[in-house]
């Protein structure tokens, strides 16, 4: 493994060096730093041209300028943007933070939902649900990203902000939504008529109950999770995670997840005091939040170790997978508690869903207010990117799962008498992820490089926007920094993909 990594890193460094030379030559041919001066009518135009040529060393051969740039880059000096006088490192720092905020949620949601829906679609091949998901996937895949973004601006921001003035959903609309949800769940579960009616009726009833609860508690005006919804969600997460991780027949894993859920609910009120004191001491930030998430995972795994069972790893995994989303719900609830203050701000003025930017200018507040503000700015571009990626992941996951489920070892597993859950999750699901190991890392790096159209429509100052802006202003230093970072991440993504292959498929050996 170490030999493989060292070999791939050395090859990657060579590729990065050659590609940087090619990119520098192409960018130098593309841009013209003297363009604005040539079109100028200023009497001192010639003097300004000479000064800029001297500033940018344009009289020197391009290869010599490349070597100077490369030498500075290797030592950590990314250069200075001559158009603004800012260090390229500072420009990149702000741009990459905005992009990572956007990409993280969109990528994880698209991967989770896309793979889950794709696998269910494969298991329900040639059913109404399969045809419906196939149609939806091709529809989303073919829609232009700018069109989705514009629709989200109109209905997800302007329409929703108008709805908050009088947030009332009519009973017939609730009934229609509940009926559609019941139909979708019944199609997803499949089975005979009795099973479909049971699943569909239960899903419709739960959906209608949730909508009525939201309406009667004025949830739209004061969104929250609270102890009640947290208890219901935590128990549902415990049962769902256990079903997928080990099956409900594994009592030790089930007891682990239920214990974690109950512990999370019990810690709801103590955590409110904990958040208060962390904020008062100035310790509440994203580093602390991530640390609390890691602590929750460790506690969940520790509870699994205490219950142990036939395989302690399964119990520990189930506990950790349950603890993280339960902890996330408590964190989200704390963010929602500042909703009233946020809405009452003179800058927000009762219209919380933003259409441009990554934060509200001049908005004052603590960590929770700024986090909520970033969330409202992330909502629409995240949904836009997620819908586009979801369509692709659904098709990939469906095709991969269909291929795996027709293999001989799947029929052998069923012939041995293994439960369908074991066949699907342990033998089918894991092997269906192998093709995704190539797609997902590359897609993530592509998004980190900048969702240029989405960032442009929502005016987010991310990597894509930075690249386009400095390319238009003929500023080579930021453009090269962007290209090198994206190329480096692409090489890393390929190495990671190879390592994931080896983890998912024991037949693959990286030392081969």
Q: What is the pLDDT of residues 482-509, one digit of tens each?
A: 888 888 888 888 888 777 777 766 666 6
Dihedral pair phi/psi, residue 232, rounded to 5°: -65, -45
The alpha-helical segments, DSSP class H, found in 190-245 are: 193-216, 226-245
> Is 147 part of a structural domain of the chain?
yes
Tokens of 426: 């342990």
Tokens of 120: 């269910």
- Average pLDDT on 326-335 reads 95
Tens digits of per-residue pLDDT, 201-234? 999 999 999 999 999 988 988 898 989 899 999 9
- Six-digit token pair at 187? 């199609």
Residues 431 and 327 in one domain: yes
Residues 205 and 241 in one domain: no
pTM: 0.85
Could you tell me the maximum CA-CA distance found in the chain, to the nearest angstrom? 89
Please give the pLDDT value at position 424. 87
Residues 359 and 236 in one domain: yes
Q: Which domain holds residue 272?
A: 93-167+218-440
Note whether 44 and 110 are same-domain residues.
Answer: no
Share the mean pLDDT of the chain: 88
Domain count for the chain? 3
- Among 93-97, 141-145, 292-296, the range with the most confident prediction by mean pLDDT is 292-296
In a domain, 446, yes or no: no
What is d(CA 393, CA 113) in angstroms, rounded to the nearest whole number? 9
Say yes or no: 134 and 161 in one domain: yes
Encoded tokens for 240: 């769902």
Is 454 inside a domain boundary?
no
Is 148 in the same domain as 44? Answer: no
């Amino acid at each position: 493994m170490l030999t493989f990594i060292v070999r791939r890193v050395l090859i990657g460094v060579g590729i990065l060096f050659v590609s940087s030379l090619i990119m520098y030559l192409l960018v130098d041919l593309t841009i013209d730093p003297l363009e604005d001066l040539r079109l100028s009518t200023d009497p001192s135009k010639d003097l300004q041209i000479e000064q800029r040529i001297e500033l940018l060393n344009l009289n020197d051969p391009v290869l010599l300028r490349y070597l100077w740039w490369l030498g500075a880059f290797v030592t950590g000096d990314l250069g200075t943007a001559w158009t603004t006088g800012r260090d390229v490192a500072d420009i990149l720092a702000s741009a990459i933070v905005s992009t990572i905020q956007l990409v993280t949620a969109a990528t994880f949601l698209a991967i989770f939902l896309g793979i889950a829906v794709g696998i269910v679609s494969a298991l329900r091949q040639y059913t109404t649900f399969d045809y419906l998901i196939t149609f939806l996937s091709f529809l989303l895949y073919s829609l232009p990203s700018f069109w989705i973004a514009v629709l989200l601006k109109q209905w997800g921001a302007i329409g929703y902000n108008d709805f908050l003035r009088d947030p009332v959903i009519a009973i017939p609309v609730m009934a229609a939504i509940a009926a559609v949800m019941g139909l979708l769940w019944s199609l997803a579960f499949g089975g005979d008529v009795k099973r479909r009616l049971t699943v569909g009726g239960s899903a419709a009833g739960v959906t209608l109950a949730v909508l009525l609860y939201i309406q009667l508690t004025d949830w739209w005006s004061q969104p929250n999770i609270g102890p009640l919804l947290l208890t219901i969600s935590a128990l549902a997460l415990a049962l769902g995670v256990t079903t997928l991780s080990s099956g409900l027949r594994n009592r030790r894993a089930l007891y682990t997840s239920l214990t974690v859920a109950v512990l999370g609910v019990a810690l709801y009120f103590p955590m409110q005091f904990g958040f208060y004191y962390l904020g008062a001491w100035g310790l509440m930030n994203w580093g602390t939040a991530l640390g609390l998430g890691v602590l929750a995972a460790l506690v969940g795994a520790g509870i699994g170790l205490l219950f142990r069972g036939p395989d302690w790893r399964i119990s520990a995994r189930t506990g950790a997978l349950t603890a993280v989303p339960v902890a996330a719900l408590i964190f989200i609830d704390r963010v929602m508690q500042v909703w009233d203050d946020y809405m009452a701000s003179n800058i927000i003025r009762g219209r919380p869903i933003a259409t441009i930017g990554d934060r509200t200018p001049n908005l004052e507040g603590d960590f929770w207010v700024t986090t909520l503000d970033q969330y409202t700015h992330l909502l629409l571009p995240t949904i836009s990117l997620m819908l586009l990626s979801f369509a692709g992941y659904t098709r990939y996951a469906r095709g991969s799962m269909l291929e795996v489920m027709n293999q001989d070892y799947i029929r052998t597993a069923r012939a041995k008498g293994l439960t369908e859950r074991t066949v699907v999750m342990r033998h089918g699901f894991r092997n269906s992820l192998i093709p995704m190991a190539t797609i997902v890392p590359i897609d993530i790096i592509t998004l980190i490089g900048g969702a240029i159209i989405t960032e442009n429509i929502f005016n987010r100052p991310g990597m894509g926007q930075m690249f386009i802006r400095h390319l238009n202003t003929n500023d080579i230093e930021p453009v090269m920094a962007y290209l090198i970072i994206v190329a480096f991440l692409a090489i890393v993504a390929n190495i990671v993909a190879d390592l994931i292959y080896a983890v998912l498929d024991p037949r693959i050996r990286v030392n081969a």
